[in-house]
Amino acid sequence: MSNVDFNKETGPREVFCGLTSIVWLHRRMPDAFFLVVGSRTCAHLIQSAAGVMIFAEPRFGTAILEEKDLAGLADAHEELDRVVNDLISRRPEIKTLFLVGSCPSEVIKLDLATVAEKLNTRFLGQVRFVNYSGSGIETTFTQGEDGALKALLPLMESTDDEKLLLVGTIANNVEDRFKKIFNNIGITNVESFPPRQSTELPKIGKNTKVLLTQPYLSDTARDLKHRGCEIIQAPFPLGVEGSTKWVLAAADAFKIPELKVHEVIAPLANRARQALEKHTEILRGKKLFLLPESQLEISLARFLHNECEMELVEVGTPYLNKDLMEQELNLLPDDTKIVEGQHVEKQLDRVRASNPDLVVCGMGLANPLEAEGISTKWSIEMVFSPIHGIDQAADLAELFSRPLKRNQILTSKSLATF
Amino acid sequence: MELTLWTYEGPPHVGAMRVASSMKDIHYVLHAPQGDTYADLLFTMIERRGQRPPVTYTTFQARDLGGDTAELVKRNITEAVERFKPKTLLVGESCTAELIQDQPGALAKGMGFDIPIVNLELPAYSKKENWGASETFYQIIRTLLKYKPNEIEKINPQRWKSLGRRPKVNILGPTLLGFRCRDDVIEIQRILSEQGIDTNVVAPLSSSPDDITRLTDADINICLYHEIAETSCEWLKRNYGMEYTTTIPIGIKNTINFINEVHEKLDLPLTNKKELEHKSKLPWYSKSIDSNYLTGKRVFIFGDGTHVISAAKIAKDELGFEVVGLGTYSREMARQVRAAAKDLNIEALITNSYLEVEDAMKKASPELVLGTQMERHSAKRLGIPCSVISTPMHVQDVPARYSPQMGWEGANVIFDDWVHPLMMGLEEHLIDMFKHDFEFVDGHQSHLGHTATKGPENKEDEHEPSNVSIQKKGSVLWTDSGKAELTKVPFFVRGKVKSNTEKYALSKGLPEISDETLYDAKAYFS
> Beta-carbon neighbour count of residue B347 at 10 Å?
13
pTM for the model stands at 0.90
Those residues whose C-beta lies under 8 Å from the C-beta of residue A201, and which sit 6 or more positions away, are: A152, A155, A156, A157, A193, A195
Those residues whose C-beta lies under 8 Å from the C-beta of residue B238, and which sit 6 or more positions away, are: none
Query: For residue B38, what is the DSSP state?
Result: G
pLDDT, tens only, A389-416: 999 999 999 999 999 999 988 886 555 5
pLDDT surpassing 90 at residue A50: no
pLDDT, tens only, B390-432: 999 999 999 999 999 999 999 999 999 999 988 766 666 566 6
B60 Cβ under 8 Å from any chain A Cβ: yes
Peptide bond into B392 cis (omega under 30): yes
How far away is chain B from the Cα of A322, in angstroms, using its nearest Cα? 21
The reply to whether residue B2 touches residue A371, judged by beta carbons under 8 angstroms, is no
B27 Cβ under 8 Å from any chain A Cβ: no
Closest-CA residue in chain B for A365?
A: B52
The reply to whether residue B2 touches residue A66, judged by beta carbons under 8 angstroms, is yes
Closest-CA residue in chain B for A87?
A: B3
| More reliable by pLDDT, B99 or B426 | B99
Q: Quote the pLDDT of residue B519.
A: 87
Chain centre to alpha carbon of residue A310: 23
Query: For residue B128, what is the DSSP state?
Result: -
The one-letter amino acid code at B79 reads E
Longest CA pairwise span in chain B (Å): 85
Which residues of chain A lie closer than 8 angstroms to B10, CB-CB? Answer: 40-41, 44
**Out of B7, B11, B38, closest to residue A16 by CB:** B38
In terms of Cα–Cα distance, which of B179, B177, B217 is closest to B199?
A: B217
Average pLDDT of the residues of chain A: 94
A128 Cβ under 8 Å from any chain B Cβ: no
d(CA B471, CA B475): 8
**Out of B5, B62, B126, closest to residue A57 by CB:** B5
Using CB atoms within 10 A of its CB, is residue B180 exposed (0-12), middle (13-18) or buried (19+)?
buried
How far away is chain A from the Cα of B73, in angstroms, using its nearest Cα? 11
Is residue A354 within 8 Å of A287, Cβ to Cβ? yes
Q: What angle do CA A280, A283, A286 make, to 5 degrees?
A: 145
Report, as an integer, the average pLDDT of B487-499: 78
In terms of Cα–Cα distance, which of B192, B42, B218, B221 is closest to B129?
A: B42
Q: Which of A151-155, A177-181, B117-121, B272-276 has the lowest mean pLDDT?
A: B272-276
The reply to whether residue A103 touches residue B14, judged by beta carbons under 8 angstroms, is no
pLDDT band at B500 (very low <50, low <70, confident <90, very high): confident
Query: For residue B153, what is the DSSP state?
Result: S
In terms of Cα–Cα distance, which of B320, B264, B326 is closest to B292?
A: B320
d(CA B252, CA B406): 9
Q: Quote the pLDDT of residue B426.
A: 62
The reply to whether residue B56 touches residue A76, judged by beta carbons under 8 angstroms, is no
The reply to whether residue B7 touches residue A17, judged by beta carbons under 8 angstroms, is no
**Out of A55, A83, A107, closest to residue B3 by CB:** A83
Longest CA pairwise span in chain A (Å): 73
pLDDT, tens only, B336-392: 999 999 999 999 999 999 999 999 999 999 999 999 999 999 999 898 999 999 999
The reply to whether residue B99 touches residue A15, judged by beta carbons under 8 angstroms, is no
Which residues of chain B lie closer than 8 angstroms to A368, CB-CB? Answer: 44, 49-52
Which residues of chain B lie closer than 8 angstroms to A47, CB-CB? Answer: 6-7
Which residues of chain B lie closer than 8 angstroms to A80, CB-CB? Answer: 1
A140 Cβ under 8 Å from any chain B Cβ: yes
pLDDT band at B153 (very low <50, low <70, confident <90, very high): confident
Those residues whose C-beta lies under 8 Å from the C-beta of residue A237, and which sit 6 or more positions away, are: A178, A213, A243, A246, A247, A388, A389
pLDDT band at B434 (very low <50, low <70, confident <90, very high): low
Q: Quote the pLDDT of residue B435.
A: 59
| More reliable by pLDDT, B518 or A163 | A163
> Beta-carbon neighbour count of residue B291 at 10 Å?
15
Complex ipTM > 0.90 = yes
Alpha-carbon separation of residue B489 from B294, B362, B436, B498, B518 (angstroms): 18, 19, 17, 9, 10
Find the helix packing angle between B515-525 and B491-507, rounded to 10°.
90
Using CB atoms within 10 A of its CB, is residue B322 exposed (0-12), middle (13-18) or buried (19+)?
middle
Phi, psi dihedrals of residue B399, rounded to the nearest 5°: -70, 155
pLDDT band at B459 (very low <50, low <70, confident <90, very high): very low
A63 Cβ under 8 Å from any chain B Cβ: yes
How far away is chain A from the Cα of B8, in angstroms, using its nearest Cα? 9
Closest-CA residue in chain B for A371?
A: B50
Q: Quote the pLDDT of residue B150.
A: 64
The reply to whether residue B10 touches residue A44, judged by beta carbons under 8 angstroms, is yes
Query: For residue A3, what is the DSSP state?
Result: -
Q: Do the bridges between strand B349-350 and strand B368-371 make them parallel or antiparallel, or are there none, so unpaired?
A: unpaired
Element (H, E) at B57: strand B55-57
Which residues of chain B lie closer than 8 angstroms to A364, CB-CB? Answer: 37-38, 40-41, 44-45, 52
pLDDT band at B333 (very low <50, low <70, confident <90, very high): very high
Which residues of chain B lie closer than 8 angstroms to A371, CB-CB? Answer: 50-51
pLDDT, tens only, A366-384: 999 999 999 999 888 888 8
The reply to whether residue B1 touches residue A76, judged by beta carbons under 8 angstroms, is yes
Q: Quote the pLDDT of residue A297.
A: 97
Element (H, E) at B318: none
Query: For residue B442, what is the DSSP state?
Result: T
**How would you list the strands of the sheet with A311-317, edge to edge?**
A5-9, A337-341, A311-317, A287-290, A358-361, A376-378
pLDDT band at B273 (very low <50, low <70, confident <90, very high): confident
Which residues of chain A lie closer than 8 angstroms to B37, CB-CB? Answer: 13-16, 362, 364
Which residues of chain B lie closer than 8 angstroms to A40, CB-CB? Answer: 4, 7, 9-11, 95, 124, 128
CB contacts under 8 A, B 453-472 vs A, are 456-457, 460-461
Which residues of chain A lie closer than 8 angstroms to B398, CB-CB? Answer: none
pLDDT, tens only, A151-182: 999 999 999 999 999 999 999 999 999 999 99
Report, as an integer, the average pLDDT of A243-263: 97
Q: Do the bridges between strand A287-290 and strand A311-317 make them parallel or antiparallel, or are there none, so unpaired?
A: parallel
Which residues of chain B lie closer than 8 angstroms to A56, CB-CB? Answer: 381, 460-461
pLDDT surpassing 90 at residue B474: no
Residues paired with B302 in a beta bridge: B327
d(CA B441, CA B460): 23
The reply to whether residue A43 touches residue B123, judged by beta carbons under 8 angstroms, is no
The one-letter amino acid code at B225 reads Y
A77 Cβ under 8 Å from any chain B Cβ: no
pLDDT surpassing 60 at residue A225: yes
Closest-CA residue in chain B for A138?
A: B62
pLDDT, tens only, B34-80: 999 999 999 999 999 999 999 999 999 998 987 889 999 999 999 99
Average pLDDT of the residues of chain B: 89
In terms of Cα–Cα distance, which of B445, B419, B449 is closest to B432?
A: B445
pLDDT, tens only, A291-332: 999 999 999 999 999 999 999 999 999 999 999 999 999 999
> Beta-carbon neighbour count of residue B290 at 10 Å?
11
pLDDT surpassing 70 at residue B448: no
Q: Which residue stretches of A93-238 are H helix? A: 103-107, 112-122, 143-152, 172-185, 218-226
Closest-CA residue in chain A for B374?
A: A53
Half-sphere exposure at residue B526, Cβ-oriented, CA atoms within 13 angstroms: 7
Which residues of chain B lie closer than 8 angstroms to A137, CB-CB? Answer: 33, 60-62, 64-65, 96
Closest-CA residue in chain B for A47?
A: B6
Half-sphere exposure at residue A209, Cβ-oriented, CA atoms within 13 angstroms: 19
CB pairs under 8 A between A and B: 193
d(CA B36, CA A136): 8
pLDDT band at B458 (very low <50, low <70, confident <90, very high): very low
Q: Quote the pLDDT of residue A227.
A: 97
The reply to whether residue A54 touches residue B457, judged by beta carbons under 8 angstroms, is yes
pLDDT surpassing 90 at residue B121: yes
**Out of B5, B58, B381, closest to residue A61 by CB:** B5
3-state secondary structure of B168: strand
Closest-CA residue in chain A for B8?
A: A44
Q: Catalytic one among B210, B267, B290, B343?
A: B290
B82 Cβ under 8 Å from any chain A Cβ: no
**Domains parsed from chain A with CATH numbers:** 18-139 (3.40.50.1980), 163-259 (3.40.50.1980), 272-412 (3.40.50.1980)
Identify whether B290 is a catalytic site residue. Answer: yes
